[in-house]
Amino acid sequence: MDNNLKIIITPQEIEDKVTELGKVISRDYKGKELVLISVLRGSVYFTVDLSRKLTEPFVLDFISISRYGEKSDSTGIVRITKDLDVNIAHKHVLVIEDIVDTGLSLSYLLRNLKTRNPESLKVCTLLNIVDRRIVDVPIHYKGFDLPDIFVVGYGLDHNENYRNLLHIAEFKKE
């Protein structure tokens, strides 16, 4: 194991939380026309595992957004780099995120999606870092609250590395 990594959430803890979220989301969307929107790339692992726990039918689509400038830039200037393929008008939409920290990108995405007239629009995130929040964003379903640390694994990366880890680890830059 990389000396820069400290496991903070085990694969079993992730699986238990995803199962729990799947049950709650299935109950809340019973009989509704649900569209899951996975925010690429980090949330793919979470989205796949969560979708397998859902008992209600759903449509799955993907969207990709990126910030202008440096990744650490907190200006909130965002653009869509891959848009949805499905029409979400009059459907119940659940945005699946890997992590919500500043809230800037998610806030932009939610404003954009609201213009498409969904019946409802909610957010599910695996990780929530409130200490970094700049913009208040609604989170309806969340896995874990974390302190202000940099994490990798289970879809989250550092320079496109570590996404494939089955756990989530704190990454300490040297």
Q: Sketch out the chain's domains with CATH numbers.
A: 11-148 (3.40.50.2020)
Is 2 an annotated catalytic residue?
Answer: no
Which candidate in 61, 73, 98, 101 is catalytic?
101
Rounded percentage of the chain residues whose pLDDT exceeds 90: 88
pLDDT (average), residues 138-151: 97
Write down the H helix ranges in the chain. 11-28, 44-53, 104-114
Rounded percentage of the chain residues whose pLDDT exceeds 70: 94
| Amino acid type, 88 | I
pLDDT (average), residues 91-96: 98
| Amino acid type, 125 | T
pLDDT at 52 over 80: yes
Coil vs helix vs strand at 24: helix
Cβ-proximal residues to 28 (8 Å cutoff; 6+ apart), any chain: none
pLDDT (average), residues 55-59: 97
- Written as six digits, the tokens of 121 are 């629009």
Measured between alpha carbons, how far is 118 from 93 in angstroms, rounded to an integer? 7
Prediction pTM value: 0.93
pLDDT at position 113 is 98
